[in-house]
Amino acid sequence: MPNIVWTLLVAAATAVVTALATGLFVTPRMEARKKRLGDVHAARDAFGAHMTRIASVCALLQQIQLPAEEEPGWTPVMRERLAGERERWWQQLDESTRWLIDNVGTYAGSCAPQTLIQFAVQYAGNARIVVLSEREEATKVEILLALTVPVQRQFFGWPTSAASPPPRNAVIHGAPAITRRGASKN
């Protein structure tokens, strides 16, 4: 009988020590890690949401153009409303690219390979510069779509849909084509 009591006391003491050690050392570290991982996932979700907004607003700007002055059926009020709506979409592009560039360290740091970090940083910088540039609106929209869709596919697409590099001699409306050695063709 004394052997059973001794075994039960050792088992109870071991359980108490294990529970205390877990509660004192492991649980706080796991809670801190949980918060950090939650923050990383929230930043990544916001990154995806802003890229989706950029792509959808660009599609809207391409599809819904201001009608010509002599276009029948368009009243001045409707033209003004449509112009206001397009201005609101441009403000959304400005806000989204501003968020991307301001928070690049938060969401890009969550990517493991260095190349993905650089990819996210370059995308944020290039998208912001395009919005700030003095290009025509149609050219800005086209360039933003050309930048955003492959990056969105790389970060949020299915593994089989990873972005492939553009063709060597790809030309974006009016931009000079770059040859292999970096010299302009135009």
pLDDT at residue 178 in the model: 41
* Interaxial angle between packed helices 114-132 and 137-156, expressed in degrees from 0 to 180 and rounded to the nearest 10: 160
pLDDT in tens, 119-161: 899 999 999 999 999 999 999 999 999 999 999 988 887 666 5
Task: Assess contact for 74 and 67: CB atoms under 8 A.
Answer: yes
Which comes out higher in pLDDT, residue 16 or 125?
Answer: 125
Instruction: Round to whole Å and give the CA distance between 124 and 98.
Output: 9
Overall average pLDDT of the 10-33 stretch = 81
DSSP per residue, 66-108? PPPTT-TT--HHHHHHHHHHHHHHHHHHHHHHHHHHHTHHHHH
Residues 6+ apart with CB under 8 A from 152: 48, 51, 52, 55
What residues pair up with 178 in beta bridges, in sequence order? 184
pLDDT in tens, 156-170: 876 665 555 555 554
Whether the per-residue pLDDT at 184 is higher than 50: the answer is no
pLDDT at residue 161 in the model: 57
pLDDT at residue 183 in the model: 45
CA gyration radius, the chain: 27
pTM reported for the whole predicted model: 0.69
**Among 142, 150, 153, 173, CA closest to 59:** 142
pLDDT at residue 164 in the model: 54
pLDDT in tens, 67-103: 888 888 888 899 999 999 999 999 999 999 999 999 9
